[in-house]
Chain A
Amino acid sequence: MGEALTVDSTLRCDVLIIGAGGAGLRAAAQISEQRPGTKIIALTKVFSPQKSHTTTAQGGMAAVDPKDPVDRSIFHMFDTWKGSDCSADQNVIKKVCEIGWEEVVWLERHGMHFSRTEEGRIAKRPFGGHMLNFGETKALRACYEADRTGKGIMDAVWAESLKYGVKFMGQCIATEILFKEGRCIGAIIFRYPEGRFLAILAKATIIATGGNTKMYLVSSNCRGNTGDGLVLALNAGLPVMDLEAVQFHPTGMVGPGILASEALRGEGAILRNKDEEPFMEHYAPTAKDLAPRDLISRAIIKEIREGRGLFHEGHDAHHVWLDLRHLPKEVHEKKIQEVCSFFKRFVGVDPERDLCPVTPTAHYQMGGIPTNEFGEVQNDTQGIVPGLFACGEVAAASLHGLNRLGTNSLLELITMGRITGERVIEYLKDATDPEEPSPDDHHMVFHQFSTYLHAQGREKYAQIRDKLRDLMMEKVGIFRTENSLLEAIEELRELKERATHIPQGTTSLRANQDLWQVWELNNLITVSMVIAQGALSRKESRGAHFREDYPERRDEFNYHTFAYMPKFGEVTLEKRPVDMSMFEAKGGHYELFDYIKREY
């Protein structure tokens, strides 16, 4: 191959942000506004931050206007706690819900094009699990920009970061985090176009790499959502938390799994089985089609298993119907324009006239790199890593616990991005410039990349990728059992071994898509292993994690799963307590923040 693997150059900055999506760039904007002159580098795998996965979010961002005549922040906090199946952290819930509206206004003032009411105010729509008066009736709480809210948010934080001179570096991945005496001092970066490694030294580093559900056969995620940030942490010996909590969105378009937003049901769409019966009435008599996602996903699979689903021959997949035919033309054309065009283009159905085939799609990782309520990364259940922060989907503070309500993720990206940015500003006050790492430092990534480049196996990348996707969907998906998980763990061990022998079509490092994808596949297998191990140890059902052999929630599992895996397959688990500060403060309605029953 002729080119030795070395770090060719070193860049320095104040703040390195790995992952330039909604959370990373909200942090960047906060730091730039409050501490002008801070030198920030924001890395992204894609060409521009504008192409991040955040841009695909559709339905809305939950926030309660303090002047709202009927909705109140405490209802939102309660819904988030109940939605999480009593496993989110109450200190985080309180903080995030309290500043949600400020952040909606921040986005609006920074140029986001929210949809408007006749009075010119930001429009709101109902969403699953968001209710008034502690679960009585649906609330108008999701602030939206048609059905492209994520794009609106992304455009705003991207443009704002640009305005303040944040330096974007596209088409690159962080392959290893650098430490000096326990403090994080930056990362090793690999640039796709030139195939070169560089070191970026920073006083503070924020991991904001987003989600990881590409290990599932049906997934709503972007091609690059491969859990890279989680693997950075695991390889550094740091823990990850609650990875068993993978959200399946109930309405993915049959075939590619493209998201058909919950906003459709917010606007009145109804799920129907093969007899066109609106089946959600049987599973959630009050919330019906606006019950939380985990509940609806399980209901859909149950309908299919009991013979009331349908089969799509072209895509070789089971599904149910989503009915939008009764919605007014105005709604189709203005409020859900993008999703309707996706159905027309990708599935060939016209939602105004036809029933739309949908099936659950792997959508969101509730767990992540554990942080405290300020976005500081934890190195165990007590301490934090100096200089290292995380926010957004890759992090778990945790606002969502084991299940997330729709529109709470955009809320989390933006609020936790800002909070993390604020903490970074504090940290920078006393932070010194990191010393140059020794040229003799051994970087694991060189060994890893040389192994990939010179592998001589016969099995192709695609075979292992497809095997992983089938296996995770079937055995570590919506329904899990001890047997399915044990089998999955064994198969993952084997897949990991096989994945290191995938032969490369070329040994060039320049724009080598194959090499890049093998690196991603290895990350997916690593994350899958932790998901399966976490799921095996949690012998209960809670939120999105459902064990058929333990179908009830159990009090002995009232904690977060902390998992370390410094070496593949060798997982050590610990417990982090759930923060119950709202319950313990004994304020108004505190009794609702106890371990309550979850019915909709």
Chain B
Amino acid sequence: MPKSYSITLDINRYDPDTRLSWIQTYQVEASGILRFVDVLRRINDEQDPTLAWSSSCEHAQCGSCGIILNGKPLLSCELLVKDAVGQFNTHRFKLRPLTIAPVLRDLVVDLEKAYDRVHKTKPYLIKPVPYQPEGDEYRISPKTLEIYSEATRCINCFCCATACISGYHHFLGPNVTLANMVRLMDPRERAKKERTDILYREDGVYRCHTSKACSFVCPKDIDVSHFLALGKEGRF
């Protein structure tokens, strides 16, 4: 049988009805192969049905379950208990909600609001190249695609935005800038001027101080800061 762990979770609670916040401690006996979403579910099932948290796909493909665990923003669906114990070298974990949007309850933040920023960067093709005369797909060589395809893997979980030292009030954020970089590098986009205007606006890419926290925390292992550096350099 896999090893079981006695872990202690100190979780930030918030009640929107009374507007009270507090830290609540839960003791859980958990098999090492459980994910943190499973642990939270276990707390709901066995101890406290009122503890609110969010998730959807639960395999790191939707980015709904971000939390801050012992100071590190991460997806609670892909962290196994045994890995957490190893990585953080402790059996005690502090769980806080992400800081980039208002808290709705406990660990649930209003990512819907956070998405307003993603919308500002216009993730679509603003002005696509005209159709080929033969009516089929635009040709893109695998080499060209490879330059930016890593950046297209972003799931907007906002872990990078939470970790970013530039602060969320002054900077659109690493993930938002990454989405703009994708289209700047996409040979099908013709509205390059509009895109560079977004890139270099007041709260644009120059707010980035290259701490590389984004690359460090990205659950999809995207080297976000590499793309931000290309943006500063004007290489797209």
Contacts and interface: CB of A to CB of B under 8 A. Distances in A.
Interface stretch (A45-53, A370-378, A566-574): A45-53
15 contacts: A50-B156, A55-B62, A110-B128, A117-B142, A162-B123, A170-B115, A192-B104, A193-B110, A338-B153, A346-B80, A504-B49, A510-B104, A511-B52, A511-B105, A514-B44
B55 A223 contact: yes
A258 interface: yes
A116 to B, nearest CB: 5
Interface string B30-63: 0101010000000011101110111111111111
A504 B49 CA distance: 8
Nearest to B52: A513
B169 interface: no
A460 B45 contact: yes
Given A314-B1, A514-B50, A338 B137 contact: no
B12 to A, nearest CB: 14
What class of interface size applies to chain A in its complex with B?
Answer: 35 or more
B165 interface: no
A588 B79 CA distance: 55
Interface in A93-121: 104-105, 108-111, 113-121
B68 interface: no
Given A47-B111, A170-B112, A223-B55, A514 B62 contact: no
Interface string A422-453: 00000000000000000000000000000000
Contacts of B152: 113, 152, 155
A342 B56 contact: no
A512 B17 CA distance: 11
B20 to A, nearest CB: 12
A263 B221 CA distance: 22
A9 B220 CA distance: 41
Contact of A313 (B1, B16, B78, B139): B1
Nearest to A2: B17
Contacts of B108: 511, 513
A122 B137 contact: yes
A222 B139 contact: no
Contact of A346 (B78, B118, B153): B78
B31 A511 contact: no
Given A47-B112, A50-B118, 8 more contacts: A47-B54, A50-B155, A51-B64, A113-B145, A162-B122, A345-B60, A511-B16, A514-B44
A549 B97 CA distance: 52
Given A47-B111, A511-B16, A460 B49 contact: yes
B24 to A, nearest CB: 13
Contact of B115 (A48, A67, A105, A119): A48
Contact of B58 (A160, A163, A171, A222): A222
A163 B124 contact: yes
Contacts of A255: 33
A224 B118 CA distance: 23
A299 interface: no
Nearest to A47: B111
Contacts of A46: 56, 62, 64
B56 A171 contact: no
Contact of A222 (B46, B62, B188): B62
A113 B149 contact: yes
A346 B75 CA distance: 13
A117 B144 CA distance: 12
Interface of B: 1-2, 15-17, 31, 33, 35, 44-46, 48-50, 52-64, 78, 80, 104-105, 108, 110-112, 114-115, 118-119, 122-126, 128, 131, 135-142, 145, 149, 152-153, 155-156, 183, 186, 188, 221
A116 B141 contact: yes
A159 B124 contact: yes
B137 A48 contact: no
Contacts, number: 179
Nearest to B44: A462
A171 B17 contact: no
A315 B128 contact: no
B61 A55 contact: yes
Interface string A276-314: 000000000000000000000000000000000000011
Contacts of B17: 508, 510
Question: Which residue, of A47, A152, A513, has the highest number of chain B Cβ atoms within 10 A?
Answer: A47
Contacts of A152: 152
A348 interface: yes
Question: Which residue, of B2, B63, B125, B136, has the highest number of chain A Cβ atoms within 10 A?
Answer: B136
Given A110-B125, A511-B108, A51 B63 contact: yes
B115 A47 contact: yes
Interface string A28-69: 000000000000000000111011110110000000010100
B137 A171 contact: no
A461 interface: yes
Contacts of B45: 460-462
Given A46-B62, A46-B64, A55-B57, A111 B135 contact: no
Contacts of B33: 255, 314-315, 348
A51 B186 CA distance: 23
Interface string A441-477: 0000000000000000000111000000000000000
B123 A155 contact: yes
A151 interface: yes
Contacts of B80: 345-346, 348
A56 B49 contact: no
Contacts of A146: 149
Contacts of B141: 116, 118, 120
A151 B154 CA distance: 10
Contacts of B64: 46-47, 51
Given A48-B111, A48-B156, A113-B152, A222 B124 contact: no
A122 B145 CA distance: 12
B124 A109 contact: no
A148 interface: yes
A338 B62 CA distance: 13
B139 A110 contact: no
Contact of A56 (B1, B55, B57, B136): B57
A237 interface: no
Contacts of A170: 111-112, 115
B59 A258 contact: yes
A581 interface: no
A506 interface: yes
Contacts of B125: 110-111
Nearest to A161: B124
B226 to A, nearest CB: 17
B172 to A, nearest CB: 16
